[in-house]
Amino acid sequence: MENNGSDRTGRRDEAVRAAVEQGLLRADAPIVGLLDVIGIRESAAELRAAFDAVVAPGTPVLHAFAVKATPLVPVLRLLREEGIGAEVASPGELALARAAGVPPNRTVLDSPAKTPTELREALALGIAVNVDNPQELDRIDALMRSATSRSPIGIRVNPQIGGGSIGATSTATATSKFGVALLDEGAREWIVGAYAERPWLTRLHAHTGSQGIPLSLMVRGVAETYALAEEINRRVGRRQVDTIDIGGGLPVNFASDATSPTYAQYARLLSDAVPGLFGGRYGLVTEFGRSLLAKHGTVVARVEYAKSAGGRPVAVTHAGVQVATRTVYAPASWPLRIAAYDGKGLPKSGADVLQDVAGPACFSGDLLAEGRALPLLEQGDYAAALDTGAYYFAHHYAYNSLARPGIYGFVPRGSAGGDGRVGEVAFAVVREPQTVAEIVAESGGAHASALTTLAPTASPSARP
Ligand SMILES: *Cc1c(COP(=O)(O)O)cnc(C)c1O
């Protein structure tokens, strides 16, 4: 069953109204990020159920959330409670996962640029590592000679099945920077040899999906990876590759509240196309990011001014490039839906008017939407950028030193086991709004005279 998202729409409308009513959104707090806790739990449950339905009983399955999609500790803790681990790709992301209490055996480290220190720490913790390239494998070899590790280790391959409609997020093109390019001359032989020489290489990894990639192409990427695992095991003469990490990359529907495609659809397509992957001979790791969080986040921003230019209405809001960087810089690839709310946080009705929804940054292209048909946004109204729970407000871009907005999770009170008053919404702080004092501190405030006192000749130790 596809979820048409009407419950989600209702929860969001209630949350926007309550955010205004409870003063989270106000004249001097003109932008917030909101996270739908029930929606996140539902997506996690859908993910688990989708793969439970296709794997043989007893198959080990780890769903590791790609932390980069929403790098917020409370979100990682919520997902942990929903049985979801973490896929990390930097020391920062690993620290977030650990702060959320995600255990090492539910954490996977992928990154194309792991330092020796990162690798040593991962192996010491027992975190799964997917090796990106031959030079990285050399580093692991050295570490494995000097210490033992519980880390399951695999190699990331790029099946080179081609890109999708968005070049910048296509990971499986012929020249992608990720993994070992499987179709390049000699690559397959090198991989089989690498496994033959290293009994501790027990996993195989590919991540070929992303926004703009059709499911059929993602399935081909997984099929190629499975075929390689079978070949490795056949040629080394033992069941050495015991787990296949199929990555994430399920695209998200940004055009309506409906969840489409669903995890269930993808899991069924995979099990039809690659039945051997689910027969119980392989454990499974997934690394979904966007599809777990995108539809559960909303940026709500106050309309500071409503004006007109060249005959077009322009709503100047507090949400722009700092919270919707991809959309502002690449609007054709990353269009966002905008919902209009009035000054009380109630959905606006009225005839659609073509208008621009602008952000606060000082460049003319800072537009959330251009020429969009919406009820006319007026001063004091709110504009909501929908489906922004992944890769948007959690990915602040510090243009114009605009502050990171506060992020709040919400649940309808009845469902939280509270007093059940209809229409009440409970909020929890996920991330405090950034203060201007913090902006100064993070912008070298403690080093104000660093450059004016830097002497051209004397070294610091030689200064009087
Ligand atoms: C970004 C990334 C993911 C998650 O991708 P989504 O499109 O957000 O699902 C998973 N695995 C790796 C290696 C990634 O780089």
pLDDT tens figures, 358-404: 999 999 899 999 999 999 999 999 999 999 999 999 999 999 999 99
How far apart CA 314 and CA 246 sit, in angstroms, is 44
How far apart CA 88 and CA 72 sit, in angstroms, is 12
Residue 140 lies in a domain: yes
**Is 389's C-beta closer than 6 angstroms to any atom of ligand 1?**
no
Q: Do residues 265 and 53 lie in contact, with contact meaning Cβ atoms separated by under 8 Å?
A: no
The reply to whether 358 and 269 lie within a common domain is no
Neighbours of 98 (CB within 10 A): 18
pLDDT at residue 457, as a whole number: 74
Candidates 67, 87, 391: which one to mutate for ligand 1, based on the most atoms within 8 Å of Cβ? 87
How far apart CA 190 and CA 273 sit, in angstroms, is 27
Q: What is the DSSP letter of 386?
A: E
C-alpha closest to that of 393 among 315, 327, 307, 444: 327
Residue 31 lies in a domain: no
**Is 207's C-beta closer than 6 angstroms to any atom of ligand 1?**
yes
One DSSP character per residue, 13-49 reads: HHHHHHHHHTTSSBTTB-EEEEEEHHHHHHHHHHHHH
The reply to whether 366 and 395 lie within a common domain is yes
Long-range contacts of 21-27 (CB under 8 A, 24+ apart): 21/344, 21/345, 22/425, 22/427, 24/406, 24/408, 24/427, 25/300, 25/302, 25/345, 25/382, 27/302
Residue 7 lies in a domain: no
The reply to whether 339 and 413 lie within a common domain is yes
For 222-242, write each residue's pLDDT tens digit.
999 999 999 999 999 999 999
Sign of CA dihedral 272, 278, 283, 285: positive
The reply to whether 52 and 134 lie within a common domain is yes
Residue 171 CA, closest ligand 1 atom number? 15
**Is 85's C-beta closer than 6 angstroms to any atom of ligand 1?**
no
pLDDT at residue 161, as a whole number: 86
Residue 287 CA, closest ligand 1 atom number? 10
Which residue numbers are catalytic? 362
Residue 458 lies in a domain: no
The reply to whether 62 and 109 lie within a common domain is yes
| Positions in the chain whose pLDDT score sits under 70 | 1-2, 415-423, 458-464
pLDDT at residue 235, as a whole number: 98
The reply to whether 210 and 316 lie within a common domain is no
The reply to whether 65 and 189 lie within a common domain is yes
**Total structural domains within the chain:** 2
Residue 324 lies in a domain: yes
**Is 154's C-beta closer than 6 angstroms to any atom of ligand 1?**
no
Domain end marker among 289, 307, 336 = 289
Residue 390 CA, closest ligand 1 atom number? 8
The reply to whether 146 and 280 lie within a common domain is yes
Q: Do residues 174 and 183 lie in contact, with contact meaning Cβ atoms separated by under 8 Å?
A: yes
The reply to whether 257 and 401 lie within a common domain is no
**Is 205's C-beta closer than 6 angstroms to any atom of ligand 1?**
no
Instruction: Supply the range of the domain harboring residue 363.
Output: 294-446
Q: Which residues are registered as beta bridge partners of 302?
A: 382
CA-nearest residue, atom 2 of ligand 1: 66
How far apart CA 209 and CA 178 sit, in angstroms, is 13
The reply to whether 390 and 416 lie within a common domain is yes
What is the Å distance from ligand 1's center to 100 Cα?
19
CA-nearest residue, atom 5 of ligand 1: 249
**Is 289's C-beta closer than 6 angstroms to any atom of ligand 1?**
yes
The reply to whether 281 and 313 lie within a common domain is no
Residue 110 lies in a domain: yes
